[in-house]
Structure 1
Amino acid sequence: MRAVAQPYSAVIMDVRTGEVLQETDNSTARLHPASLTKMMTLYIAFEALENGEITLDTRVRDLAARRCAAPSRLGLRAGQTISFRYLIRAAALRSANDSAVAIAEALEGSVSAFATRMNRTARAIGMTSTHFRNPHGLTSEGHYSSARDMSRLGRQLYFDFPQYYNIFSRRSEDAGIATVNNTNRRFLNGYRGADGIKTGFTSAAGYNLTAMAERNGVRILVTAMGNRSSTARYNRVVELMDRGFRLAPRRAAVHRPSRPSYVPGSDDRGSGVAAGRVIRLQTAPTTSRFPRRRPQPGDAPSDDLIAALRDGIDEVIEDIREPDELVEVADSGRPARRFVRGIGGG
């Protein structure tokens, strides 16, 4: 099946450092993410598990309104209850839209409230070209993201929830009422070192994929959006992955992204656990409010003070004798970041 898709957009990222190795000129363009949206739905589900908002064994009741969720579906029926773990498996592997809605309602009570949480999390992660309207990614006005933002989200998922990330590499799983197969099997089976992460397709979006693979300690992430067929998507991602492994240094220090710290936004309607991780402010005094005793005439300087003064004098003398060299490039001899535009075509 070929799609009348949006413009093609792509990013190649070194997961270890977060460096963008190559990207198309429109890598920050606002495009339809389709089911790449579910990476955010699952990020929040994992976060909720970590927060204790819900457990994997919590029984979630399906609502009648969810029957209108379009394919792909797990097949939930109105009034049915199902364990939260099965909703995660179905959303991650089959890309089930009804499961994504069930996750949203279980955590926030409604799709609109969950979308608010999605947008809060996107801001905290640094996704600057993203706005969510729903948890599944079906085309909706005002629901958009970019190849750059989806790459950032994929990297955040990998580092923040390693205990759950492995679900994206499973070829199939029991989802309670059905066995679900991974929509990303072609990449997982066909590319050496592949272990994730999420496909997406709608007629408006075309064929999207955020993919990740590791070889010999080098981990590469590729996001490709707007491909015209599933075959074109696979071939393009393989090409970009190969290029990423050629461009990335064999050794690089791992720089983990910071976990999101949540601050209220203009569209936030509340606070508490449902808003994300709880931020606890340190309000206890960390120093004594009583001043130290002033030196008195006749007091001898302490040994620590004398040693500190000697060390400071020695450092000044060394600086005068041998001034530091000016360093203008990264230690490796290559620029700390390079932007190479124009990956492929549409």
Structure 2
Amino acid sequence: MTNRRRGCVVAVAALMLSLSAAAAAPVADRYPGLAAAHLLMRDDAVVSAHAADTRRPMASLTKLMTALLAVESGRDDGEAVTVTAAAARETGTRLGLSAGQRLRFGDLLAATLIGSDNDACHALADALAGSEAAFVARMNARARELGLVHTHYENACGHDASAHVSTARELAALALVAIQQPRILVRTSQPEAAITTLDATPRTFRFGNHNELIGRYPGAIGIKSGTTPAAGRCLVAYAQRDGHAALLVLLDARERWWTATRLLDDALGGNVP
């Protein structure tokens, strides 16, 4: 394990201990009924939590681990990646990539984080590990390294599966690691992006950020949203304002954007102790 990875493990272990301590003396649920599970942090303190240790589907919040492994791999953003047939067959939100197309590694990362495109996500997984199955094994190994004991991945992109689960608390811990990576944070803060293939006849794909807080909520700088039938509307949001930072995880929130705005306003405005 590299010193950088070891440092992340230590940092998250300390975070998980502090969050566990908060769980031992339960933090008040100041926002009952707004989501099936949530966790809200202001600076370094948990200020509200509900069902934060209950395993639930996580939809495309999955892609935070995919992106983390991508940037930790050390692969250069300009490296060419060839889209596999398996990636081209992806379902759900997708760019519409074709097998054999070539794109830059960093552009696939952008499409994964901003557009939440499953074919781009799968192409990254195949490029990094040779197959999605091999990449998922790496995802689960990294989760164990980070002490995410209630998190388990069945796929790289966030499709519903019975054992594909995490918790609000562990997604918060993962997000705190991810936002330390500039290559992740800068992309999740972009309202939109465009990428172009490296083929003889280039094709350009344009996509917007599925996180509707970006460009609309003052101080929002990341990080990922996701929706599936089993998971409902999910969100990990990070915002900074007036010298304070707030991190919010929502799982299955019916009014996701209204709820996120209210909770972030309370945290950044000092309306929670």
SS, match of residue 94 in structure 1 = coil
Distance in 2 of aligned mates of 1:188 and 1:136: 21
SS, match of residue 251 in structure 2 = strand
Distance in 1 of aligned mates of 2:250 and 2:78: 35
Give the one of 96, 120, 124 matched to 2:145.
124
Question: What per-residue deviation string (whole Å, max 9, x for no partner) do you get for residues 51-100 of structure 1?
Answer: xxx21111111122223211211211012111111100100111000111
Match status 1:114 vs 2:127 = no
Match status 1:187 vs 2:200 = no
Distance in 1 of aligned mates of 2:52 and 2:118: 26
Distance in 2 of aligned mates of 1:122 and 1:20: 21
**TM-score, length-scaled by structure 1:** 0.64
Structural mapping, 1:25-44, within 5 Å: 26-44=51-69
Q: Partner of 2:36 in structure 1?
A: 8
Q: Partner of 1:76 in structure 2?
A: 97
Distance in 2 of aligned mates of 1:41 and 1:73: 16
Distance in 2 of aligned mates of 1:162 and 1:234: 25
Letter in 2 for 1:157: A
Structure 1 residue 239, shift from structure 2 partner: 1.5
Match status 1:172 vs 2:192 = yes
Q: Partner of 2:248 in structure 1?
A: 222
Structure 1 residue 124, shift from structure 2 partner: 1.7
Question: What per-residue deviation string (whole Å, max 9, x for no partner) do you get for residues 267-316 of structure 1?
Answer: xxxxxxxxxxxxxxxxxxxxxxxxxxxxxxxxxxxxxxxxxxxxxxxxxx
Relative to structure 1, the CA distance from residue 121 to residue 84 in structure 2 (aligned partners, 3 Å threshold; closer, same or farther) is same
Letter in 2 for 1:21: V
Question: What per-residue deviation string (whole Å, max 9, x for no partner) do you get for residues 174-218 of structure 1?
Answer: 22230121111x212332111111000001111000001001221
Structure 1 residue 116, shift from structure 2 partner: 1.1
Match status 1:138 vs 2:165 = no
Q: What are the ranges of 5 or more consecutive residues in structure 1 without an aligned counterpart? A: 1-6, 250-346
Letter in 1 for 2:91: A
Structure 1 residue 248, shift from structure 2 partner: 6.5
SS, match of residue 167 in structure 1 = helix
Structural mapping, 1:204-219, within 5 Å: 204-219=230-245
Question: What per-residue deviation string (whole Å, max 9, x for no partner) do you get for residues 201-255 of structure 1?
Answer: 0011110000010012211000111123xxx100111121122222577xxxxxx
Q: What are the ranges of 5 or more consecutive residues in structure 2 without an aligned counterpart? A: 1-34, 197-203
Letter in 1 for 2:256: R
SS, match of residue 193 in structure 2 = strand
Give 1 or 2: higher strand fraction: 2
Q: Is the 8 A contact 2:79 2:104 kept in 1?
A: yes
Distance in 2 of aligned mates of 1:220 and 1:168: 16
Q: Partner of 2:47 in structure 1?
A: 21
Structure 1 residue 109, shift from structure 2 partner: 0.6
Of structures 1 and 2, the larger Rg is shown by 1
Q: Is the 8 A contact 2:185 2:221 kept in 1?
A: no
Letter in 2 for 1:210: V
Question: What per-residue deviation string (whole Å, max 9, x for no partner) do you get for residues 145-177 of structure 1?
Answer: 111111111111112x13541111101112223
Letter in 2 for 1:147: A
State the identity as a percent: 33
Q: Partner of 2:182 in structure 1?
A: 162
Letter in 2 for 1:33: M
Distance in 2 of aligned mates of 1:81 and 1:158: 28
Match status 1:55 vs 2:82 = no
Task: Tell me how large the CA RMSD over aligned residues is.
Answer: 1.5
Aligned residues, how many?
231
